[in-house]
């Protein structure tokens, strides 16, 4: 009888530590990588592939290479912060600088040539206005 209660308690504890609660408990900045390239290689390329052309298999991972959706710099910032469809949110794990760095890296590599860089202050503003506290 104690095992189901213990399992339920553990499950509730894990749920409670997801998303913003996780960030509060463990602090934003769970990843040590700082450059956009290192973050992409360490976190993003597992799904989006080293060439950023995406993949289809157990799931569909969109291509970031030559992607017109990256034209407006706010869009990829929001996707990284909040997640989208099967992509998890990284707002609770990345600092403002890390979000800016990885977004700028993707927007200026892989056949993308967007030069209006995202700043950490812009990420901070979006994070404060769009993410639950």
pLDDT of residue 26 exceeding 80 = no
Please say if the pLDDT value at position 6 is more than 80: no
* 41-50 per-position pLDDT tens digit: 999 999 999 9
Predicted local distance difference test score (pLDDT) of residue 22: 40
Q: What's the predicted TM-score (pTM) here? A: 0.76
Cα 89 to Cα 92: distance, rounded to the nearest angstrom: 7
Helices vs strands, H then E, count in the chain: 7, 2
Q: Tell me how far apart the alpha carbons of residues 102 and 22 are, in angstroms, rounded to a whole number.
A: 21
Q: Give CA–CA dist 123/121, Å, rounded.
A: 5
**Per-residue confidence (pLDDT) for residue 77, from 0 to 100:** 97
Q: Does domain 28-130 have CATH number 3.40.50.2000?
A: no
Q: Which two tokens stand for residue 80?
A: 């990284």
Q: Is the pLDDT at 57 greater than 80, yes or no?
A: yes
User: Can you tell me the distance from the alpha carbon of 25 to that of 44, in angstroms, rounded to the nearest whole number?
Assistant: 24
- pLDDT mean across residues, the chain: 83
Residue 79 has pLDDT above 80, yes or no: yes
Domain boundaries, the chain: 28-130
- Is a pLDDT exceeding 90 seen at residue 67? yes
């Amino acid at each position: 009888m104690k095992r189901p209660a213990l399992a339920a308690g553990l499950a509730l504890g894990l749920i409670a530590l997801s998303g913003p609660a996780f960030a509060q408990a463990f602090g934003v900045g769970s990843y040590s990588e700082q450059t956009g390239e290192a973050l992409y290689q360490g976190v993003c390329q597992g799904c989006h592939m080293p060439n950023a052309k995406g993949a289809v298999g157990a799931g569909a991972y969109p291509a970031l290479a030559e992607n017109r959706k990256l034209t407006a710099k706010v869009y990829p910032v929001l996707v990284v912060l909040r997640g989208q469809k099967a992509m998890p949110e990284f707002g609770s794990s990345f600092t403002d600088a890390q979000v800016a760095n990885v977004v700028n890296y993707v927007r200026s590599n892989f056949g993308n040539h967007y030069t209006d860089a995202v700043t950490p202050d812009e990420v901070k503003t979006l994070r404060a206005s769009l993410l639950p506290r």
